[in-house]
Each structure stands twice: as C-alpha cells, then as structure tokens.
Structure 1
C-alpha cells in the first residue's frame, strides 16, 4: 500500500475512508488517520515513538521558520520604521492611543510646536495619576497592550503606584491571554528566574516560544541563551542568527562569542553581522538619533524625580 493510500485508511483497523467512515488525522503528527477515538487509543503504543518524533519536527519547523518579521507594534505608526531594541530607550508609549512612537517623530512634532500626542493629538497626561487613569480606561476595555503597560507600572512602582510584582504578573497573564507578545516575554523571564512565581523553566520556554514565533526578538535571544545553557549549540545559533538579523545587538554578540569559542562558524558570524547591519540601517534616521538623545535626557530627569518622590514618601 502506498503512503497516499495508507493515509486514507485507519492506521489501526485499516478501514478506508467513505461516506460512512470519516477519518481524522492524528493532531500531533498528522502522519496517520483514524476512524475513531477507540482506534487511536488502541494504536497509541505502536504509534507513539513516530508521532513524538514528527511532532517535535513540526514544532521546530514552526519555531525556526516563523517570526522572522517584527510585529506591527514594533513599528512607529508615524514614520512606519521599526523601532530599535530596546524599544523603551528609543520610543515612548502613548497611553491615549496605545501606540509606541519613536523619539524621532516625537521630537519632530515638538519642533513644530505640537506637544500633544504626536499620533492621535490627545493632550498628554499632566501627571502620573492622570496617566494611570487614562490607561485604566483601556485596561477596562481589555486592551492587551494597555494591560501589559499597567503591569509594567506595578512591577516598577511607577506613576504613583506601589511596587506590586504579583499584581504585575496578573496583568501580564491577562495581557498574554489576549495576545500581547511582550507580556509573553515578561512572563518567560519571570518563570525563568522564579520572581513572583514558582520557577518553571519549561513554562519560561513556552512563553518565549509563543512570542518568538510572532516576531519578538528579545524572546528569540532568550531561547538561544536557554539552548546554550542546555548544551544545544546548533539550536542556539539558529535563534541568535534570527534575532541578530532582526536588529538584536545582544544576539549578535552571542554569535560572536560562540564563534570565538568554536561553537559557530565564521560564515554564521558573517551572516549575523551583515543581517544586523542591514536591520540597523533600516531603523536609522538623523531625526531618530537627535530625538533619542533629547528624550533620553528627559527620561533620566523623570526617573530622578520618581526616585526623589519615593525617598520623600519613605
């Protein structure tokens, strides 16, 4: 019986597909079909090894072949260019419209005398209390990005909120369930370290994988580090190559270290270096360089004020 014919007959009892017999694939491997749940259970012991191997292959195909493009949220909605990593050092999150705007576009708007949100033109919040109130409206509407942002505020104790890691994790969980890629990354970090949750390396990897296949390059780099720690160097360099070519400088450095230690080839390092430079060139603009310098100074002043306020309260 040919492979095609075999796929049209129950792998356990041999019944062929017909109007009366509906065959269904094994959902894990999709190599064989069954006419009933009973047949699938009866065939499980015989099929288990092949199924497990093929399921792992399919998972790897998805893991390494998807997520080579950054997600929509990583692009400035004004200039439409991808935002450099780490994004919080090159952009600002607008709680009014839940958009991340690069510092170049923010500065360009200010030069034109526009000090409201450069994307939706909503007046900027006057203080932390007003900012939290604005984002809370989006949280109440179950906006995944808003939930992630509010979780960040609780985690760091920003904008008048008391630091509350457990509350942050609750918000990140909800955000992840609603599709937040960045929330998956944060949860992966917490399960990896055991901060605020019971340490679970397998769950950490699951969250990073969920984010990586959707284009999160920091999660992709974390997967590479995890493979390094497990001694899986070929798998690690695959992750680092993907992340480096998407603009992650840390991943590029990891490929360099692997090359220096004989764990990656010269060709792989050259590929990572070229891909990284191409990505950086795509993200670069003179306005962004100027905007990043100015806005970082402002951020440092805001952080200093936040620390001073906490010290006074304590």
Structure 2
C-alpha cells in the first residue's frame, strides 16, 4: 500500500501517464501459481492487514494513499485522522506511530528505507522500487531496477508489488509483454485481498466479453470500498449486464465499507483538507 509517487497522490500504473519507456527485459522471478476460478471467487473478500491504521485500528478508506501516509521510518501506514491528531498535540515533525523525526530530505528517507530493504522488509523493498520507477528521492529513474525490486518484494509477500508487476507484464512496460503472467500476479494478490488487482481482473474479463465474471470481481472489490468497481457495476447495470439486485447489493456493501472507515478525527482532517 506504499505510494509510488513522491507526493501523497496515488494512481494506477495502468491509468497514469507513464515515464519514457525503458528497453523491455525478459521476465524475471518465479511465475505465481495458477488459481482456480472457485478459489479466485471465494477468497480475498476482505482487505489485508496493511489497510488498517495501526493507531486507531480502523480500516483506511480507498484509495489508501489519499487517506493515509506511509512512514518510511517504521513502515507503517497511518491514517490522516491519526496524523492530524498527532499534529494537534504538537508532534507534527515526527512520525505519529514511532515518534521518529520526519526525514528532511530524500537522502534521509532512502537511508531509512535501505536499512529495511537490507533486512528483507517487503514494504521497504516495494517503496524503493517505486522510487526507482519514478526517479524521486534523489534517485535516477531506473525502470529495470524497479522491476527487480518489485519482484523481490513480491517474493517476500507484498501484494502491491504483485499488482504492479501485473500491470507491467500485462501492458509490456519495461518487460516483454506477457498478459498471462500479468494476470497470474493479479490473481495472486486478489485472492489475498488486494482491491486494485481484483478490479483489473474484472477489467480483463469485461474486455474478453465475460461480463458475468467481470461483475463478480467488481462486486467483491466494491464491497471493500472501491468506488471504481461500484461505478463499473452501475455501468454494467445500465447496459443490461448486471441486475438491479446486484447493483443494490454492491452499493450497500460499498456504503457499509465506507462507514467503517469513518471517525471524528478523520472527518476533521478531511474538512481542513489535510494531506
């Protein structure tokens, strides 16, 4: 759930404007195991642990990067509400979770991250991959290095790394295009609760004319609080590919998921447009 950008914004690798293309390299790392349709549809209906704020213990609304901040000192993702509360207590220059002083430069941030990368921390490795991908925090852009690090992070179990590798292989960005490998990465992450991967599996099924399967995928991610999935189901309903009952069920599940993420301090942070 770490942001790939040097700011707090977060956009899908598939949808965002990509940096200049790098020469394609052959596939690296092990291919995720194949997943049966039954396993795919019966697993991954809840957000993974990393989508819960470690301070208030409430789920973080999607997209998480807009409602939380990743802390490179402790590898925790703290919701905007808890960070806002920490600032109100006069501790705005330190991590809301571990109280480490906020890094004042990209070099300081990378020094903290690299220590965790050396210790085989999957979140730190995914963060460093994102820094190489965008060429931020003082690093020169290096897409092949980013792909290597995402593969290391995926092997260590990071679901966001699987999602991003899925996007790279599916589109052929920086690697030899391999849609099947990309889908395998998305499937691996989706059955473990990654909503972005689940959404993209729905997109793939829709583009292949499998409307029923697409709706099933989006029903799952919509109930996690993913508004893009809800909008796709609404569109499918308007086109006659989803029933009124399916749309109503998805809407109710989405609203319930969103309600679970609310707290007074998060609402206060939102009102002052805290970032």
* TM-score between the two structures when normalised by the length of structure 2: 0.85
| 1:101-120 superposed matches below 5 A | 101-115=78-92, 116-120=94-98
Aligned residue runs from structure 1 range 11-26, under 5 A: none
> Which protein is bigger by CA-based radius of gyration?
1
**Aligned residue among 255, 258, 266 for 2:244:** 266
Residue from 105, 111, 127 that aligns with 1:149: 127
Match of 1:192 in 2: 170
Point out the structure with the larger helix share: 1
Counterparts of 1:105 and 1:85, CA distance in 2? 16
Shift of 1:170: 0.8
Structure 1 distance, partners of 2:263, 2:36, is 38
Q: Is structure 2 residue 247 aligned with structure 1 residue 280?
A: no
Q: Is the aligned partner of 1:61 residue 2:14? A: no
CA distance in 2, matches of 1:65, 1:286: 34
Of 175, 190, 201, which aligns to 1:212?
A: 190
Greater shift after overlay, 136-145 or 159-168? Answer: 159-168
CA shift for structure 1 position 60: 1.5
Q: Note the C-alpha offset of 1:295.
A: 3.4
User: How many Å apart are 1:81 and its aligned residue?
Assistant: 1.1
Q: CA RMSD in A?
A: 1.3
What residue is the counterpart of 1:161 in the other structure? 139
Shift of 1:286: 3.4
1:234, CA displacement in angstroms?
A: 1.0
Structure 2 SS opposite 1:88: helix
Q: CA deviation at 1:216?
A: 0.5
Per-residue CA distance 1:93-139 (angstroms, 9 max, x = gap): 11111010011100100100113111111111111110000000000
Unaligned 5+ segments in structure 1 are 1-55, 297-314
The structure with higher relative contact order (CA 8 Å, sep 6+) is 2
Give the aligned partner of residue 99 of structure 1.
76
Q: Distance in 2 between matches of 1:241 and 1:73?
A: 21
Out of 23, 39, 50, the position equivalent to 1:73 is: 50
Matched residue SS, 1:101? strand
Alpha-carbon distance in structure 1 between the residues aligned to 2:83 and 2:143 = 31
